[in-house]
Structures are given as C-alpha cells and as structure tokens.
Structure 1
Amino acid sequence: MPALPSGIPVPDDGGLPTWARPSGRVATAEPFGVYVHVPFCTVRCGYCDFNTYTASELGGGANQAAYATTALREVSLARRVLADAGRSPAAVSTVFFGGGTPTMLPAEDLARVLTGIRNAWGLAEDAEVTTEANPDSVTPESLRVLAEAGFTRVSFGMQSAVPHVLATLERTHDPLRIPDVVRWARDAGLDVSLDLIYGTPGESLDDWRTSVEAALATGVDHVSAYALVVEPGTKMAAQVRRGEVTLPDEDDQAAKYELADDLLTEAGLSWYEVSNWSRAGHECRHNIGYWRGDDWWGVGPGAHSYVSAPAAPAPAAP
C-alpha cells in the first residue's frame, strides 16, 4: 500500500489522513496554494528526471486535448475531500502551473483550469498566478489570453544564452527569442521571471557571465539560477558514465553561484531564497509558501499536497 512520507498509510478514499481532520469545521485565513502539474514536453531534455512525457512516450495513454478536463476533475475531488474533512481553506492566495511545459496546452485550457480553481475556492484579490513556459511555446496572443484569465506571472525557462550550452542541455529555443518573449509578456501585463542553469558540461565561467548578463539586459524583476544536478537514470547520467561529457567540479559551480550573486545584486535584485533573486515585491510567493509550510493542493500526475494538522483549539476561559 502507498504511504505518506511519515509512513502513515494513504486513505483508500483519497481523503485526508485522520491527523489532518479537525473535530469540527475549520475556516482558516492561512495562505492556501494550488500547484497544477502539466507533464507535456516537446522533447525530453537529457538532464531532466521530472514527471514529464513527450507525445511519443505517452502513446495513446494520455491526451493533451483532454488534460484540462481531467485536471478540473481533480480540482472537484480536492474541493470535496477538503470539505468532507471539515477544512475550509481561505481563498487561494497562489497558483502555480508547472511541468513539463504548461504552455504546450492552449492558453484557453490553462484559463479554464484557473477558472475551475476560482470556482472551487475563490481567488484572493491579490492572488499570484504563475505559469512556467518555454520561450518557443508562447505568442503575444497566448500571453494576452493568460493575463485576461487572471494569470499574473510567467516564468520562462531560459537556462542559458549560449547556443552550445543550450545544445548540451537539449533545449530547443533560440536564445535570441528571450528579449521578445519578455517584452510580449510585459505588454500583456504579466510579471516575468527567467530561469537559468549553471554547471552544464562545457560551460565556461565566461559563458555563464554571458547568460546572467543577457537575462539582466531584459530588465526582468526576478531571476532563478539553479545548479545542474544530474540524476541517476537520465540520459545525461549515462553520458557522464560513458565519459562522453564531464561534469564541472564543486569549485566551478561555487564560482558560478558567486558570480550570479554578484551580478544580480549589483543590478538591484536581492537574494531571498537559495536559488532566487528579485527586486522588492517581485518574490515568488508560491515558492515562499512551500518554505514557510503553508497548505497547498497538488493537481496532476506526480503532484503532491500538504495539508497541516489543524491548530489545537484555544483553552476555554476560566
């Protein structure tokens, strides 16, 4: 039988474990987030071990066209499970569509899922709603549809501005497209973050400087910089094992992290979380919620949820 991280068996009905169920109905003003996992990608990058699939890997077992409808079923289930357990979360404060590449789905489908979340729990007036995107998976029109539906933020997987680094990572976009997609998103009224990866085999310190400076040149208010981690079972792990590529040492990765911190800080972006820098007021509130231990519900394959034990009632007045 599957088990929760603590070793407690998963309830057969898909509900909350007993310890997360209050004795009566509990309304809470605590932040509540929703994560939606969209597992589709055009290609599987050699370093990636996320729960993602290309069309050829999925065969006839999944259907992108039906994905929004399936996700909405999960949202309905989540609403019932929480209600049956006596939990009444506050209006959703953050929503994050991750993947995979969520923007492989039509923007209208993403909008439909967001509407379902709004109908289930409501969205806070200042809700942060983010989608990840590849630079080659959006258009000015699709970004406008997202903004009109209530999305407030897009996080582009830039990874590098250097063609040979992108080729090693098996990323498919043209780095020259980055300024365009940032401009399109901002024209639509969306806040923009760029994701970078350092420590790719064959990437020099100058290559990394080029990438960070290219990201800053777009004027974005948020940058994520992640060290490449090659997980067992990935294509790149096999390439390393066969000696086809060589990973940088820890000193190289540390130098690149320090360079990123220097350049980003100098540009006015402050470090606020292990791999994230932003201008004041542009931090990713959804990710902060994970670090803080806020409640969230995960929708989609591989997504998980966290609902904390209800607080003990205050003692009765003497």
Structure 2
Amino acid sequence: MIQYNISALNTEKAEALQHKIDLKTKPLGSLGKLEEMAKHIGCIQNTLSPALKKPVIMVFAADHGIALDGVSPYPQEVTWQMVANFMNGGAAINVFAKQHDIDIRIIDAGVNYDFDKSSGVLNAKIAYGTKSYLNESAMSSEEFEKAMKRGGDLVERIHSEGSNIIGFGEMGIANTSSAAIILHLLSNIELSACVGRGTGWDDEGLQRKYEILGRALSKYRGGNTAEEVLTYFGGFEIVMIAGAMLKAAELKMCIMVDGFIITSALLAASKMNPNILDYCIFTHKSQEKGHQLMLDQLKAKPLLDMGMRLGEGTGAAVAFPLIQSAVNFLNEMASFDEAGVSNAE
C-alpha cells in the first residue's frame, strides 16, 4: 500500500496571520468566512502573503459495471459522450473554468471507450470500466493500487508545473451508487439515508436503486477499511481521486472539495490519512442525498449552498472566486495605519 507523508497543518504563523487580518480597515471579524479562509490558506502555505498559483480542476471519468444492472436512468455510454462534450468545451465545468481562468484536465481513468489520441483526453485507463459489484469485486487489489498511484502521479506533474491549488471533478454513470455505499460502510449510516436520486430517478427508480445496492451489500464479505471498500465498491475515478487528493495534501496544495462523489473519495482518503483534511476547502453542499451526512462526518462547513448537484467539479469552479477574494483582501486591503484610519479603542 502506498504511504503518504502528509504533515499536520503548520500553525506557526496563525497568530501573525490573525493579527494581520485584524488590522485591516474593517470591524473585527466582519469578513466572516473569508477571514477564516485567508488564515487557513496562509497556514497551508506557511506565509503571511499567500498566493493562488495556476488553479487546476482535474475531471476523472470512468465507467461502472453496476450501471448495467439498473441503478441509473442513463445508459453507460453517456460517460464517454460527456467526456467528448468536455473536450469540445460544451459542459458546465468548461463554462465556469473558463470564466475564472481555471485550467481543466480531463482524465480517462477507466471509460468503456477508446478516445482518439488527438482528443486531448489524458489516458490513465485502468480497464474498460469496473466489474459489477452486484456479483463480484469492482476491481482487483492490483487495479486499486494502480489507480491510487496514477492519481498521485498526475497531481505531482501538475504541482511541478507550478500549481498550488487543485480541485477535482468526475464523470461516471452510476457513481452516486458507489459513493452511497462508501458513505454507508465507512460511516455506519443506514443505507436508506445514503442513497439519493443521482441523475434524476423518480420515487420508483430510487426504490429500485436502493434494493439493488442492498442486494450487493448482502453478498459482501469484506471488511470496512477504506481500501477494502474502495476495491469492492469503488470506481476507477473515485479511487484515482482519492490517490490524487492524498498526493496533493502531501505536496501542501490547497484542495477544493466538490460534491457527493468527490467527498466520498475524500472520506475514504481521510480514513487512510486524517491529516489530509487540513488542506481541504469545502466548496459547496450538494443537493444529492447523503452529501450533508458526509460533510457532518468530516466536520466540514462548505462555502456555498446553491442547490447544485451536477458534479464535474462545478461547485469548486463556482466557489473559486471566493477563495481568491480571501487571499486578495489579506494581501491588498489596507491596514488602519496604511490608510490613516483611526482604529477602534
């Protein structure tokens, strides 16, 4: 198993950062969460003048064998079709990333399709989708290890290009089913509370999805470690994201956490190394049932609650300007002395 050397958050500059924040031309605490975030990012980067350099959102795509067993209203081929849409610039993540000058990378972690080499899709394919965990393990332990490592290697490359803030998105028909089971097994929460409508089930479809996942769980004889759960019930994109997040934390990058699927990868990663949470910025609360339960498990307070549940990394992209605002006020806003403004007694 790959080991990640993730340091606990360095707080030696926390007091000085708070002092710098408090001396800005504003009432104490009046910028609320922006102040907390500025201090957090300053501690991650161990500086009084943090900078967000070359933001990237990595969108990992993969297919799930369970999709063929009726847990999603959409056919499996929508995964590769949406990847093509990403590459053509037509998806929501393209629009928001372009708006905020965020570089996006699209990674084939295990799509049941061969993309043209000229398409621009990064080929990290483990296999042509996972097996159906209704009958057997989604992947082998070797495939799990390979996916973890590939995720980390991709982040290391992006870090070497100068990026110090990264977000993650995903595309994979039926991946809300994996995320629900990950939440259920790693948090010991009733399955019924974890399973949501995904890409849009009605009540009847939701009940069928719940029953199929219940059958899959009834056959599971493994343990409740993150590694075992991800190997049996995960997707290649979820495992790759877990490995990518752990490497990003090891490299002391700021990690923008998106919605339900991405948080399931983080929940698993945090069981492998709890220090990862020191480097996370939770960007939004998804409308997908179960996400609030995940956030509660991680004691996380997201920046936004916009009623979103699209995935793709869209929550991270939409929240990025707020993160930028936290850094900008810390670096650019005048202090009382600089502005010649009288401070409170």
Give TM class, smaller chain: 0.3 to 0.5
From the two aligned structures, give the one with the greater strand fraction. 1
TM-score by length of 2: 0.33
Larger relative contact order (Cα-Cα within 8 Å, sequence gap ≥ 6): 2
